[in-house]
A and B are shown apart, each in its own frame.
Chain A
Amino acid sequence: MDMLQAILAHPWFTPLLLTALIIGLFPLVAGYIVLVERKVLADMQVRLGPMRVGPHGLLQPIADALKLLLKEDIIPEESDKALFWFAPVISTFTALSAFCVIPFASGVYVADVNVGLLVISAMSSVGILGIVLGGWASNSHYSLLGALRSAAQLVSYEVALALALLSGVMAAGTLSMAGIVRAQQERHIWFIFDNYGLMLIPFVVYVISAVAETNRAPFDLPEAESELVAGFHTEYSGFRWALYFLAEYANIFVVSAVAVTLFLGGWLRPFPNVSWLELPFNYGFPALLFLLIGLGSLRLARKLTWRPHAIGMTGVGLFMILLAGVVLIPPVNAVVSSPFWFLIKVGGFVYLMIWLRGTFPRFRYDQLMNIGWKIMIPVALGAILLNAIVGMLRIS
């Protein structure tokens, strides 16, 4: 027992546990984000989406992963083999590395360094290399064009992204990710509502730039299937292709986490300083959410005709109802409520990105570059000045 406590209190315990959890679980999480994306898009297009593998397609990610693992991996004869091999590794490595400074709750992070936000910016910049090298090494016209587009697009929107983040940094006075959340707690405000609502401008600029930065629709020109086959990963197959996808979904998670940390209060629940709201927000909301998901699953299970699927869906429903009960236990709730709020906000942001993909048609390339250079960057610069002046008026 003493030894267990000694291990738990060791300064390396949380970082190492989180490292193992993030690297070990994120591929699975990414798979399920893909499933959610397919299901949500299907729903928007009035179809059902994956239904066969597991009840309502719940085991589809695992089947996909196994399929990709067993697929033949083709390296084109004329490609640059070493770069071809290494490019997806760079993409995955940089995308995953950005996770190391994300605070999931107070004290729950791999590291909290005073340049946290810069670490994430740096990693996402290096991530471009994986795409450019992959596209170039393939020695295929489609790949090269996709890679060039991706590079041009990323460098254009990266400036707007960094400028939009600046306004948040000004309000927080620190680059440490956990410090930014603590600043919001001390100021009793989410930074999106700061400066009498003017922070909404950099937030909107950030959201648009983040969608472009992650190569998501409506800015998915590097992989525009209607003109470039699959863009920079045309020649990639099997598990290397899966790594590119893992990197893309890791990037989506990271930009969402940065938006949540900087603008939406990170792990804080709504109104974190109003103590009587703890009961509805920390106990009521998660319990009700899991309970509703559980009851919904049970209802769906009744409609499934194939017995194994019905049993599986019932199991999911019962598990969710059990979760609803577990989060009501006070010691458990004290631990899980902060990560719950962080993840639910990130989840909302990821949903927004899927929603955008289901709603908007793809931009033309000149429109995309014009939006980046002629609208996003001037607006972001103006927002910095405006927020600097209004913020100074507010302080003094």
Chain B
Amino acid sequence: MPEGYLPIFVFMVVALLFPVVAIVAAKLVRPSSPFATKLEAYECGIKAASSSRGRYTVRFYIVAILFVIFDVETIFLYPWAVRYQSLGWFGVAEVTVFLVILVVGYVWAYKKGALQWV
């Protein structure tokens, strides 16, 4: 039923307009007197020693990759959860197999130290 989604679409357009209009409206009333020091990035009053477009720890990547795997698994589980009552024991057994495979991967990642945050 596509018409059921129309109010959502209208709502989202209004929700997008609200912050845009708010920022533009604020621009009309607020003062603006920038100077060079004021426009520097915050760093205890002195100019930052380096640009922050540098490198950062690889931990964040591992978490991101694990997230992709687990989030996709979750999405696979949702259709089953909706049909859980009509699928009965067959569905529960299938999902148990699915979760066992997932847990094997989880244990492997655990043993490899991917979840260790140091």
| Residues of chain A at the chain B interface (Cβ within 8 Å) | 12, 15-16, 19-20, 22-23, 69-79, 85, 88-89, 92-93, 96-97, 99-101, 110-113, 118-119, 138-145, 148, 151-152, 155-156, 158-159, 162-163, 166, 169-170, 173-175, 229, 234-235, 238-240, 243, 365-366, 369-370, 373-374, 377-378, 381, 384-385, 388-389, 391-392, 395-396
B75-113 residues at the A interface, CB under 8 angstroms: 77-78, 81-86, 88-89, 92, 95-96, 99, 102-103, 106, 110
Closest B residue to A163 by CB, please name it. B74
B19 touches A15 (CB 8 A): no
B12 touches A100 (CB 8 A): yes
A96 touches B18 (CB 8 A): yes
Contacts of B103 in A (CB 8 A): 381
Instruction: Give the distance in Å from the alpha carbon of A96 to the alpha carbon of B22 in the complex.
Output: 14
Closest A residue to B63 by CB, please name it. A152
B41 touches A169 (CB 8 A): no
A100 touches B8 (CB 8 A): yes
CB-CB under 8 A for A111 and B92, given A15-B11, A169-B82, A369-B117: no
Instruction: Give the distance in Å from the alpha carbon of A142 to the alpha carbon of B43 in the complex.
Output: 9
A370 touches B117 (CB 8 A): yes
A173 touches B20 (CB 8 A): no
- Neighbour of B63 across the interface among A92, A369, A374, A384, CB < 8 A: A369
- Of B31, B66, B67, most buried by chain A (CB within 10 Å of CB) is B67
Closest A residue to B50 by CB, please name it. A141
**Dominant SS among interface residues on chain B:** helix
A166 touches B115 (CB 8 A): no
A77 touches B36 (CB 8 A): yes
- Minimum CB–CB distance for B54 against chain A, Å: 9
B99 touches A374 (CB 8 A): no
A-B complex: 5 closest residue pairs judged by Cβ atoms: A15-B7, A155-B67, A140-B41, A239-B26, A77-B39
Contacts of B5 in A (CB 8 A): 111, 113
CB-CB under 8 A for A166 and B78, given A23-B14, A140-B41, A140-B48: yes
CB-CB under 8 A for A19 and B7, given A229-B42, A369-B63: yes
B22 touches A110 (CB 8 A): no
B18 touches A144 (CB 8 A): no
B32 touches A73 (CB 8 A): yes
Instruction: Give the distance in Å from the alpha carbon of A207 to the alpha carbon of B7 in the complex.
Output: 30
Question: Could you pull out 7 A-B pairs where Cβ atoms are within 8 angstroms?
Answer: A72-B33, A110-B11, A139-B41, A152-B64, A158-B71, A166-B77, A229-B42
Instruction: Give the distance in Å from the alpha carbon of A211 to the alpha carbon of B64 in the complex.
Output: 20
A152 touches B59 (CB 8 A): yes
Known: A73-B32, A112-B4, A163-B74. 18 other contacts (CB 8 A): A12-B7, A20-B14, A72-B30, A73-B30, A89-B19, A111-B4, A139-B41, A141-B48, A144-B56, A152-B64, A155-B63, A169-B82, A229-B42, A235-B41, A239-B22, A373-B115, A378-B106, A384-B95
Closest A residue to B83 by CB, please name it. A173
